[in-house]
Amino acid sequence: MKNNTKIIRGGTCGAGSLGGFFKMPNREFVYGITNNHVAANLNQCQVGDAIRDVGSGQQVGSLSHWVPLLKYEALQKINYVDMALVKLNAGLACEWIMKDTSLQKPLGFIEPRQKGQVYMMLPGGEIREGVISKSAINHVMEFSLCKSPFLFTRLVEITPTSDGQFSEAGNSGSVIFSSTHYIVGIILGANSDGTKSYAIPFIDGILNYAPLIIA
């Protein structure tokens, strides 16, 4: 399995991506990261729910952790992350693919930087490139996740540097790398016309909720 492989679970949401591979202190398992709305079905889930590879239909792991999403009821219901962890099947071969093929895994985590170049690898080898147009959005933004509204803040805005979108449907949960091959964040979604993509940062974001170590 490669980073950003398409995955799906039973529920109301469609396919997304398993962004990458991580461990946690004092645990022997390897975990894949994705969004709550991809693997935890907007909180309508249980530990152990099956997560499957879209292509083969085979189960690749089971839902193990998620940060509950706060539903849009009032302005105080604001989300900082949309994340879930999948405990991958024992013995599953996991491979990081990156622009620098000499690297076996990302070099670490890095803060989003204004005008920083970023890229996203697709499992087939396609590379999507963009630039961070906003490193930390301080205002509240509304996102429709599986046709339900949710409020978010502290997101990273990415603008594509070539024709076409940086991310599209099915890329939710994909890991974003800096040009120096550090992990920046994971994709949450895009705006309605696809001209901007939005990501959740690892530093001061995901790592506040889970002590992840790159596997």
**What is the token pair recorded at 45?**
């889930």
Strand-pairing partners, residue 95, are 2
Strands, E, within the chain: which ranges?
5-8, 16-18, 21-23, 31-34, 50-53, 59-66, 78-79, 84-88, 117-121, 127-137, 141-145, 148-152, 155-160, 175-178, 183-190, 197-201, 213-214
Question: What predicted TM-score, i.e. pTM, was given to this entire model?
Answer: 0.95
87's CB contacts (< 8 A; 6+ apart) are 29, 30, 31, 61, 62, 63, 64
Domain spanning 117-201 has what CATH number? Answer: 2.40.10.10
Sign of CA dihedral 179, 166, 174, 37: positive
Distance in angstroms (rounded) separating the CA atoms of residues 187 and 166: 10
Q: What is the DSSP string of 16-54?
A: EEE--EEE-TT----EEEE-HHHHTGGG---TT-EEEET
Distance in angstroms (rounded) separating the CA atoms of residues 207 and 70: 19
The tens-digit pLDDT sequence of the chain (215 residues) is 999 999 999 988 999 999 999 999 999 999 999 999 999 999 999 999 999 999 999 999 999 999 999 998 766 789 999 999 999 999 999 999 999 999 999 999 999 999 999 999 998 889 999 999 999 999 999 999 999 999 999 999 999 998 899 999 999 999 999 999 999 999 999 998 989 999 999 999 999 999 999 99
Topology of the domain covering 5-95 = Thrombin, subunit H (2.40.10)
Q: Where are the domains of the chain?
A: 5-95, 117-201
Q: Cα–Cα distances in Å, from 68 out to 93, 107, 150?
A: 29, 29, 12
205's CB contacts (< 8 A; 6+ apart) are 80, 81, 154, 185
Distance in angstroms (rounded) separating the CA atoms of residues 128 and 214: 22
